[in-house]
Amino acid sequence: MNQLKRLRHHLTRRRLNPPLGFVHIPKAAGTAVVQRLESVLRPRHFIYGLDRSQFGAFAAFETMPASTRATIFDDENEIPAFADVIAGHLSPKTIHGSYPSAQLITILRTPASRLLSHWFYWRGYGPEVRAQYGDWGKAIAYAQADLGVFLQERQIACVTDNIIVRMLLWPHKLIPDDDFINPRGDDQLLAEAMQALNTFSFVHIIEVPAMMTSLEHWLRRTYGYSFWSQIKNAQRHRSAQIVNVSKSPVVKMTTPLSVQLMNGADNDVKQRTRLDDVLWYNIATRYFNQDQAKTVYARSVTSAVARYEHLNNK
């Protein structure tokens, strides 16, 4: 970056007070949200990363290339202290450990659709991509199996088993790193997760068409909308957004996803989303009545299954 570009970057960016923390639930429109935060806020320092909530009992981070390892915060002390926006697959505890005053936001997606998306997305990670995650690449490779097998793997419960509740409460004595959540703790975990979610400054669901507009309005009310933000926003409307979407898998499904679900994987999905479903419905009923919310959920899952079967056959 030459001096002129460096000066322009400095002059068009701004400090945010208080900082903003984006708890990015995997496969829930996070890439699009990050782009919107960037274009509206124009923060001086934007930090993105992952914490231990995404890796369960895995600790062999030294097996990862330096470029990948640099994005993982093994503990909150590794997070730079100068961020205006701290975003990523991070728990509230991790964000508030470094930025106690940060306002938190998050976006939810119908949990069953999110889970199917996560499985299918990982299926697109070939050996070369998995190698960029060191020994964790072996965990990612579980996605090459059928859905039901994938959902039975305890090592990756950290990303398959009620991940919204896990991220909101991590670490928690009732949430094992390398096993599924025992249903005996459901009531307590749901109460605590809902309490945690209620502390967020902004929560929405991607199934509401106006979600992104609502987010932008909240950002503008909270932080204002600078001249350079308006320019960046105009540029965004003239160009296509790049989003982190599932692509054709490296290994094709031999059994259609709809058949896998009918043959028992549907029960696994229900178990892995039983707590997250309650949270999603709680937020969804702010925008839909109960019957509408159920219809929206069902349509979301049906659409996801059809999409992934289509991509699998390409």
103-141 confidence digits (pLDDT tens): 999 999 999 999 999 999 999 999 999 999 999 999 999
Half-sphere exposure of 143 (CA within 13 A, CB side): 24
> Cβ contacts of residue 179 below 8 Å, gap of 6+?
154, 157
pLDDT of 258: 97
Contacts made by residues 68-77, CB under 8 angstroms, sequence distance 24+: 68/132, 68/133, 68/134, 73/49, 76/51
**pLDDT at residue 238, as a whole number:** 40
HEC per residue, 16-48 = CCCCEEEECCCCCCHHHHHHHHHHHHCECCEEE
Helices 290-312 and 266-284: crossing angle in degrees, nearest 10, is: 130
Whole-prediction pTM: 0.92
Omega before 18 within 30 of 0, i.e. cis: yes
Give the model's pLDDT for residue 230: 58
pLDDT of residue 241: 46
Main-chain dihedrals φ then ψ at residue 161, nearest 5 degrees: -100, 95
List, in order, residues 6 or more apart from 170 with CB less than 8 Å away. Answer: 51, 52, 53, 91, 93, 94
**Per-residue model confidence (pLDDT) at position 10:** 60
Compute the mean pLDDT over every residue in the chain, rounded to the nearest whole number. 91
The percent of residues in the chain predicted with pLDDT above 90, rounded, is 82
The pLDDT value given to residue 224 = 85
Query: 């938190």: which residue's tokens?
Result: 104
Which secondary structure element, helix H or strand E, spans residue 302, and what is its range?
helix 290-312
